[in-house]
């Protein structure tokens, strides 16, 4: 059976990038959906302390997710953005509590941990 750490790492990054790019772009295109469906009410007062509207915060989260996805695609600062993504996903868990989404987020965190601890090697990907 053919196996390669180089290709495994590439496909791991590609899969995580697809998820974060999808959600990031969707936040920029459909911020009202995210506010109506997924925005926890208790965050509104916290966000207002930073002089941001809820919509601006959704846009900021979308930009962060897109940057994370691009980082994973290009393998530039991938470990740094993977660390930030884990912090982000833990924050979502703290704010939203245990839901069916939490299972997805644990899987994503596992993938990001794999990127953080992946052995260094030279890659053209």
Q: Are 123 and 6 in contact (CB under 8 A)?
A: yes
Give me the pLDDT at residue 100, please. 84
Dump the DSSP string for 49-116: TTT--HHHHHHHHHHHHHHHHHHHHHTSSHHHHHHHHHHHHHHHHHHH-S-HHHHHHHHHHHHHHHHH
pTM of the model as a whole: 0.89
The answer to whether residue 18 is domain-embedded is yes
The answer to whether residue 94 is domain-embedded is yes
Long-range contacts of 107-111 (CB under 8 A, 24+ apart): 108/16, 108/19, 111/12, 111/15, 111/16
Which residue has 């994503």 as its token pair? 108
Average of per-residue pLDDT across 27-31: 97
**Total count of domains within the chain:** 1
The answer to whether residue 95 is domain-embedded is yes
The answer to whether residue 35 is domain-embedded is yes
Query: What range defines the domain where residue 19 resides?
Result: 5-117
Model confidence pLDDT, tens digit, residues 74-95: 999 999 999 999 999 999 898 8
Q: Are 59 and 31 in contact (CB under 8 A)?
A: yes
Residue 79 sits at φ, ψ, to 5 deg, of -70, -40
The answer to whether residue 112 is domain-embedded is yes
The answer to whether residue 125 is domain-embedded is no
Average of per-residue pLDDT across 59-82: 97
The answer to whether residue 122 is domain-embedded is no
Res. 56 pLDDT band, cuts 50 70 90: very high
The answer to whether residue 124 is domain-embedded is no
């Amino acid at each position: 059976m053919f196996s390669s750490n180089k290709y495994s790492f590439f496909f791991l990054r590609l899969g995580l990038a697809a998820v974060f790019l999808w959600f990031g772009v969707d936040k920029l295109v459909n911020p009202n959906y995210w506010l109506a469906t997924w925005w926890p009410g208790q965050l509104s007062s916290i966000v207002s302390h930073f002089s941001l509207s809820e919509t601006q915060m959704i846009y900021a989260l979308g930009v962060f997710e897109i940057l994370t996805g691009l980082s994973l695609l290009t393998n530039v600062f991938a470990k740094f953005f993977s660390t930030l993504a884990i912090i982000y996903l833990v924050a979502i868990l703290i704010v939203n509590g245990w839901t069916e989404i939490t299972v997805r987020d644990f899987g994503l965190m596992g993938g990001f941990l794999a990127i953080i601890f992946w052995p260094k090697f030279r890659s053209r990907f």
